[in-house]
């Protein structure tokens, strides 16, 4: 990570910035997340600015050489106005030569069709107990919005825990339109993490943008 100043929007527990610091990043690192539980976990690691909030409540003025959204955070902005506000704030946060990097799942790959109950994933919780999780999508899918329920189950629990979520799957043209409207210009795009070309069925839309 060569940028001297980095803002991670939707940083979660801060794994990306912690890793950057562990690998020798000596500049300014700022993690921003609206979930108190996530930020409280992140604050266990000093030397990084952990902020509770979002770009609608916390403003920056040309302070960062790099702004990132990882973990498909871009997809949680469900309303047009919410996304416009966020992207305008990203532009405001960037230095003149700064870059904005993010990814969103490509709707052409229709990833949600593989989020089914038979695709069970097993994780280990902090108590080293196995937690099983799976997804079930609400059908029919409503335009670019995909609503789904994640179920978490463990032998230690009396009953499974449910988490309902909605993600927005914008296509390539829509992504470009929102960026342009916010005064951002696309510099590069890829279809996957191996930097393969972006196609109609790529799994990802990985974008690097700058101030227009």
What pLDDT is stored for residue 127 in this prediction?
Answer: 73
Helix then strand then coil, % of the chain, to nearest 5? 25, 35, 40
pTM as predicted = 0.92
Q: What is the pLDDT of residues 55-104, one digit of tens each?
A: 999 999 999 999 999 999 999 999 999 999 999 999 999 999 999 999 99
Residue with tokens 């449910």: 162
Nearest by Cα to 34 from 4, 62, 76:
76
Measured between alpha carbons, how far is 87 from 100 in angstroms, rounded to an integer? 10
What pLDDT is stored for residue 145 in this prediction?
Answer: 97
* Domain boundaries of the chain, sorted by first residue: 5-106+170-211, 109-168
- 134 touches 121 (CB < 8 A): yes
What pLDDT is stored for residue 21 in this prediction?
Answer: 94
**Residue 20, pLDDT above cutoff 90:** yes
Q: Domain 5-106+170-211 is classified in which CATH homologous superfamily? A: Vaccinia Virus protein VP39 (3.40.50.150)
Nearest by Cα to 25 from 33, 16, 34:
16
């Amino acid at each position: 990570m060569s940028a001297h100043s980095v803002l991670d929007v939707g940083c979660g527990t801060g794994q990306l910035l912690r890793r950057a610091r562990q690998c020798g990043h000596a500049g300014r690192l700022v993690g921003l997340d609206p979930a108190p539980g996530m930020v409280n976990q992140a604050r266990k690691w000093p030397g990084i600015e952990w902020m509770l909030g979002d770009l609608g409540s916390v403003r920056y003025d040309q302070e960062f050489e790099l702004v990132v959204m990882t973990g498909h955070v871009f997809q949680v902005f469900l309303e047009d106005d919410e996304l416009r506000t966020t992207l305008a704030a990203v532009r405001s946060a960037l230095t003149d030569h700064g870059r904005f990097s993010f990814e969103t799942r490509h709707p052409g790959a229709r990833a949600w069709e593989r989020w089914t109950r038979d695709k069970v994933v097993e994780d280990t919780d902090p108590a080293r107990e196995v937690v099983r999780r799976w997804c079930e999508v609400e059908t029919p899918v409503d335009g670019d919005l995909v609503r789904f329920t994640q179920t978490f189950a463990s032998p230690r629990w009396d009953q499974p825990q449910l988490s309902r979520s909605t993600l927005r799957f914008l296509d390539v043209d829509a992504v470009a339109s929102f960026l342009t409207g916010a005064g951002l210009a696309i510099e590069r795009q890829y279809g996957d993490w191996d930097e393969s070309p972006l196609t109609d069925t790529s799994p990802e839309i990985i974008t690097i943008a700058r101030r227009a």
